[in-house]
């Protein structure tokens, strides 16, 4: 069964579009204050480090405002929001048949940037597994930071410097207000190397001996 799964993985890799890529996005920061009482988010303390991590497919997107915004569909199963020792994912199932997006903004309205939302056109956040809370990220940079709306052209690190605005918080939908505020530190966008992703898949199927074999082969 495992051998069949490996063969299927190799076939899928061979027929996949050469220009498609899995891209990992990571956002870091620090909690400023937390007004949430109920766990698990209620266990988050001021000063806790924050890491938001998820992946998108470079070919799976929806254009919002043509030429200005493009929302890449977030793989909900890959999404983790970590606040200190607390980790939470997206609401499952995601509400009202909506889709979580990581959206690029190219010159709209006056600067390039990024946001996370359930719309490819406007910010608004995405629903977290603990209701009624949503995670919001909205970044706007001074000048022409993005050369296009292609996520593969945007790989790199984006720091706090150069921001004209940022919103990084957890919202309470009912009532509508900021329940947790965070300082933004950085945003990372990098494609996951396909060979590495394939090795991870095969090693998950066969276990650690395959990784050991690869390590010995690399040393020889």
pLDDT in tens, 23-72: 999 999 999 999 999 999 999 999 999 999 999 999 999 998 777 899 99
Residue 51, class by beta-carbon neighbours within 10 Å (0-12 exposed, 13-18 middle, 19+ buried)?
Answer: middle
pLDDT of residue 111: 79
Instruction: DSSP letter for 98, please.
Output: -
pLDDT of residue 5: 54
Q: Taking the model in full, what pTM does it have?
A: 0.78
Identify the residue with better confidence: 215 or 136. Answer: 136
| Percentage of the residues of the chain whose pLDDT score is greater than 90 | 62
Most confident of 1-5, 119-123, 131-135, 200-204: 131-135
**Structural Rg of the chain based on CA atoms:** 19
CA atoms of 123 and 137, how far apart (whole Å): 8
pLDDT of residue 96: 79
pLDDT of residue 54: 98
pLDDT of residue 165: 87
pLDDT of residue 97: 82
Identify the residue with better confidence: 142 or 89. Answer: 89
- Identify any residues that bridge with 57 across adjacent strands, giving them in sequence order: 22
- For 199-217, the pLDDT digits (tens) are 555 555 655 544 444 444 4
Whether the per-residue pLDDT at 197 is higher than 70: the answer is: no
Q: Which helix (H) or strand (E) covers residue 14, if one does?
A: helix 2-15
pLDDT of residue 10: 52
- For 7-26, the pLDDT digits (tens) are 555 555 544 444 579 999 99
Sorting pLDDT into bands at 50, 70 and 90, what band is 2? low
Mean of the per-residue pLDDT values for the chain? 84
* Residue 209: HSE in the Cβ half-sphere, 13 Å Cα cutoff: 2
């Amino acid at each position: 069964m495992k051998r069949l799964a490996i063969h299927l993985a190799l076939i899928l890799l061979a027929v996949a579009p050469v220009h498609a890529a899995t891209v990992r996005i990571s956002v870091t920061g620090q909690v400023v204050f937390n007004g949430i009482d109920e766990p698990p988010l209620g266990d988050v303390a001021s000063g806790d480090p924050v890491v938001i991590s998820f992946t998108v497919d470079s070919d799976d997107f929806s254009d919002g405002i043509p030429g200005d915004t493009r929302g890449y569909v977030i793989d909900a199963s890959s999404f983790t929001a970590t606040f200190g020792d607390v980790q939470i994912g997206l609401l499952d199932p995601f509400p009202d048949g909506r889709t979580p997006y990581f959206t690029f903004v190219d010159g709209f309205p006056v600067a390039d940037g990024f946001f996370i939302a359930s719309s490819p056109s406007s910010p608004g956040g995405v629903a977290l597994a603990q209701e009624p809370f949503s995670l919001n990220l909205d970044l706007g940079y001074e000048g022409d930071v993005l050369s296009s709306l292609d996520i593969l052209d945007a790989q790199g690190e984006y720091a706090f410097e150069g921001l004209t605005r940022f919103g990084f918080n957890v919202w309470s939908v009912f009532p509508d207000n900021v329940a947790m505020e965070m300082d933004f530190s950085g945003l990372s966008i990098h494609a996951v190397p396909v060979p590495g992703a394939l090795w991870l898949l095969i090693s998950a199927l066969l276990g650690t001996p395959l990784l050991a074999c690869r390590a010995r082969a690399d040393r020889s």
